[in-house]
Structure 1
Amino acid sequence: MDRAMKLPQRVASMPFRFHGGIAALVALLVFNAFFTPNFLQLQTLFVNISQVATIAIVAMGMTLVIATGGIDLSVGAVMALAGALAPLIFLSDLGAANPMLGVILAIVLPLFVAGLCGVFNGVMVAVLNVQPIIATLILFISGRGIAQVLTNGNLQTFSNPSFSYLGTGKVLGLPFQGWLALAIACVLFWVITRTTWGRYLLAIGGNERAAYLAGGPVRRVKIGAYVICAVLAGLAGLIVVAINSASDAARNGNLMELDAIAAAVVGGALLQGGRAPIFGAILGAVIIQLVKYTLLANGVEDEVALIAKAVIIILAVWVQQFRRA
């Protein structure tokens, strides 16, 4: 009985930004259904799911970093770096001689390098006490440059159906990367809600000093958050490469940090830390993609879409400040 009486209170006390996200999603769906040509076609659904999946995967990693009170500006560069490594493996003598071994290496090696990028960011922030925006700005600048050096600034094309399945495969009629994003969300949700690491993550964002005095492994948890964020960014970079069967270091992951931060904030992540709404990040990714799709499908220039994303971030931050006040 008590639980039944408390249920309406819980519903009423749900974050306003989550209600706002649902309302925005419904409004976008209704508008597109009536005014955007071909929106209800399956091909349009598949394209949007593919785009949402990459944003959502990166946004979930960004949510973990934001939960610690940090930020990661290097995710786009990590995508470019990971995406540049995969074609190099396929185009090497080893990858050409053994395609299956090439697939394994083309997944494992880029994700390992992405993890090292996360370790770099984490150590800079957690051990050397560099401000997160400065620490990750280093890779933001240098990471894409390294990727372009590796590829000589050229478009790297390849043909490997097994690897391309990562970006073009379908499971139960829906894009494989959509299912992959959902699986990652379930795992991260379990980690945050059911493990000691997850509790420490939220405690650090809520009050890092108190978490440290309570004996929490603050440095290890923060480094772990940056590593997970970087690995997920690397995975998103591989998905983009698999979709196109080509790697363009200049474009892969370009401005993804903007989409990831916007999706995380719209999904309910607090910039001061302490919350990690994983499924909220997926909701935010869907909204960000639908805003971009709606504008472009109705003849609005891409530059306006960038402005719209910035406005979305401003509104989400304003809602957070309003709730805090």
Structure 2
Amino acid sequence: MADAQAIGRPRTSLNVGNFLRRYAALSAIVVLLAFNFAVTPNFATWQTLNVNLTQVATIVIVSVGMTLVIATGGIDLSVGSLMAISGALAPLIFLSPFGRDHLAIGNILAFVVPIGVAGLLGLFNGWFITRFRVQPIVATLVLFIAGRGIGQVITNGNLQTFKNPSFQFIGLGRVFGLPCQVLVMLAMVAAAAWMLRRTLFGRQILAVGGNEKAARLAGVPVAPVKRWVYAISGLCAGVAGLVVVSINSSSDANLVGLGMELDAIAAVAVGGTPFTGGRATVVGSLLGALLIQLLRYTLLANGVPDAAALVVKGAIIAGAVWSQQRSMPS
């Protein structure tokens, strides 16, 4: 009996350790919420909730696509630039003579065309990687650099200002009291999580990231899977770009999506998706983005400079990667 108890203790400790590693982001969010409710003035208000959700929504939308990319063992540095292209195209469409004369059609095209273009550019990333066997970080660096230039060419380097309530509903509208962009975020997270768990394509994504050679031998169409994953990442970036410009009532290709690739990668890392591929948690990426945003808000609301908040953010990412390494089998 004593031996059985001795064996049971380490097993319990191991289970607790695994639980903490698996749900680290959620546990940290609960701790931060408790701290803020107790210490931060005016935290328990609808306005505070609204600010944090709206600020994190675009990061999560981009993180959905980034999670799928990283699940295949890749990376996508172009998402910020694709946001800039999407955000530059939309006003160009509904501010054109045709768009002004046919407002409903112009607004529909202002959604469909930019998102479609961003998806095609994402597909180009996937094609470039699979056709020439280029490392993803190098291949996506092409549009990371050139994409923002394309956005500036589209707008002639000018700030595009507009007022279009129908189009701007995606960023400023509310449904049942919730910001529309938050509902878009939740819908995309739910769709991606369902796809990973319930569809053949989701299993193929994880198979490619887990062991590409074995997946190819098992009949998985590795190249098409990678191409479509990068296309999905582009589509997500396109949606996020439209949300940003609709909120700002303007489009500036120099600023839209700036640094978004780093925020999305950070959310995925903190959320528990390993950079080695083969595993993915879209809900974890949502929690990772919420954790980073909530931590930044907590520090700023309690008088900590933003520069220090960035240092803490970097430390959290380093801790998340370290935790992933420890949880991997040796």
Report the counterpart of residue 326 of structure 2 in structure 1. Answer: 322
Task: Give 1:105's aligned residue.
Answer: 109
Offset of residue 263 of structure 1:
0.7
Q: 1-side partners of 2:97 and 2:30: how far apart?
A: 51
Kept in 1: contact 2:20–2:27 (CA 8 A): no
Q: Distance in 2 between matches of 1:10 and 1:162?
A: 54
C-alpha contact 1:90 1:106 (8 A) present in aligned 2? yes
Please identify, of 302-311 and 143-152, the stretch whose mean Cα deviation from structure 2 is larger: 302-311
Unaligned runs of 5+ in 1: 1-7
Distance in 1, matches of 2:55 and 2:186, equals 14
CA distance in 2, matches of 1:248, 1:198: 35
Moved more, 228-237 or 14-23: 14-23
2:180 aligned partner, one-letter code? F
* Deviation >4 Å, runs of 4+: 8-15
Name the TM-score, length of structure 2 as normaliser.
0.91
Letter of the 2:249 partner, please give it: S
Matched ranges for 1:31-70 at <5 A: 31-70=35-74
Pick aligned residue for 2:144 from 125, 128, 140 = 140
What's the secondary structure of 1:254's corresponding residue?
A: coil
CA distance in 2, matches of 1:92, 1:218: 41
Please point out which of 237, 243, 254 is paired with 1:239: 243
Describe the shift of the 1:175–1:210 C-alpha distance in structure 2 as closer, same or farther (beyond 3 A): same
> What RMSD, in angstroms, separates the aligned Cα atoms of the two structures?
1.9
3-state SS in 1 of match to 2:87: helix
Matched, 1:129 2:133: yes
Return the letter of the residue paired with 2:28. A
User: Rg: which structure is higher?
Assistant: 2
Judging changes above 3 Å, is the alpha-carbon distance between structure 1 residues 172 and 18 closer, same or farther for their aligned structure 2 residues? Answer: farther
The whole-number CA distance in structure 2 between the counterparts of 1:221 and 1:12 is 36
2:219 maps to 1:215: yes
Offset from partner CA, 1:9-54 (integer Å, 9 cap, x none)? 9985855433211121112212222333322221121111111211
In structure 1, distance between residues paired with 2:245 and 2:167: 9
Residue in structure 2 matching 1:275, options 253, 274, 279: 279
Q: Within the alignment, does 1:287 sit opposite 2:305 as a pair?
A: no
Cα deviation, 1:205-247, whole Å, max 9, x if unaligned, reads 1000000011110001111110101100110110011111111
Moved more, 195-204 or 12-21: 12-21
Structure-2 residue corresponding to 1:310: 314
Q: Which moved more, 1:152-161 or 1:106-115?
A: 152-161
Unpaired segments of 5 or more residues in structure 2?
Answer: 1-11
What's the counterpart of residue 178 of structure 1?
Answer: 182
CA distance in 1, matches of 2:238, 2:294: 23
Q: What is the aligned counterpart of 2:206 among 199, 202, 213?
A: 202
Task: Output the CA distance in 1 between the equivalents of 2:110 and 2:198.
Answer: 32
* Aligned with residue 155 of structure 1, among 156, 159, 166: 159
Counterpart Cα distance in 2 of 1:224 and 1:132: 14
Which sits farther off after the overlay, 183-192 or 103-112? 183-192
CA distance in 2, matches of 1:302, 1:83: 27
Distance 1:167 1:74 in 2: 22
Does the 8 Å CA contact 1:110/1:234 hold for their aligned counterparts?
yes
* Aligned-partner residue type, residue 178 of structure 2: L
